[in-house]
Amino acid sequence: MDKGKQIWFLGLAGLITFVMYEVNFVFDVSAAHGTEIPDPVAEAEYLRCYQSMDDDIHTTAFGTIDNPDVQKEFISANRARAVRDCRTLHPQQTITVEEPSRFNIVDLEPRYW
């Protein structure tokens, strides 16, 4: 096949592509790298501790205090203490997660189907 026919064929294929698909140039290129995230196991332990303390706080507040304003103050003050105590028991830890490399130049989305 000669050069003229090749160029004509590539031009026709490009035209059909642009007519049949919505073409988005995204240029999403990234090398592999590590990302620090909170350790899910440590955070689950922290949340379990906080939930247990929060249940105790509510049980105490609603079981012993009759005034709603005092209940609200008691709960908010003790929640801050619960956050502090649970965080000292279960300190925040991070783990490294390796993200793979990405190479995406063009996104094609069908127009008609």
Residues 89-108 have pLDDT tens digits of 999 999 999 989 888 888 88
- Give me the mean pLDDT over the 27-42 stretch: 90
Task: For residues 39 and 35, give the distance between their C-alpha atoms in angstroms, rounded to a whole number.
Answer: 12
pLDDT tens digit sequence for 37-90: 999 999 999 999 999 999 999 999 999 988 999 999 999 999 999 999 999 999
Percent of the chain residues past pLDDT 90, beyond the cut: 63
Q: CB-based contacts of 89: which residues, under 8 Å, 6+ apart?
A: 46, 49
Q: Is the pLDDT of residue 1 over 70?
A: no
Task: For residues 2 and 58, give the distance between their C-alpha atoms in angstroms, rounded to a whole number.
Answer: 83
